[in-house]
Amino acid sequence: MADNQTVEVEGKIVAVLPGTMFRVELANGHVVLAHISGKLRKHFIKITVGDLVKMEMTPQDIDKARIVYRLRNNAATRNAPIRSYGPRRR
């Protein structure tokens, strides 16, 4: 598919579905079904709920998209463990 036939949009992951499929909400509130591209599979890029992603869509089918990039968002909570290095000295 040529680059001039795709529309690039950004969205937020709202649900993780089986088979590397995701429900993504766009800025205007429209929800689309998206799958990850081959580069993301190849490099084991993990995508979870709340991540901001960049997607490619075709003008013919606006209900499906391909995720091509996971944006860096430091504000997203990843449920990472809080590391404790012992009591603080004052």
Q: Running along the chain, 90 residues long, what does each successive block of 10 average in pLDDT? A: 80 93 95 93 89 94 94 65 64
CA-CA distance, 1 to 75, in Å (whole number)? 34
Is residue 13 within 8 Å of residue 47, measured between CB atoms?
yes
Tokens 């009591």 belong to 87
Looking at residue 72, its pLDDT comes to 80
Q: Where are the domains of the chain?
A: 3-70
Task: Give residue 79's pLDDT.
Answer: 65
- CATH 3.40.228.10 for the 3-70 domain, yes or no: no
> Under 8 Å CB-to-CB from 22, ≥6 apart: which residues?
13, 15, 16, 33, 34, 35, 36, 47, 53, 67
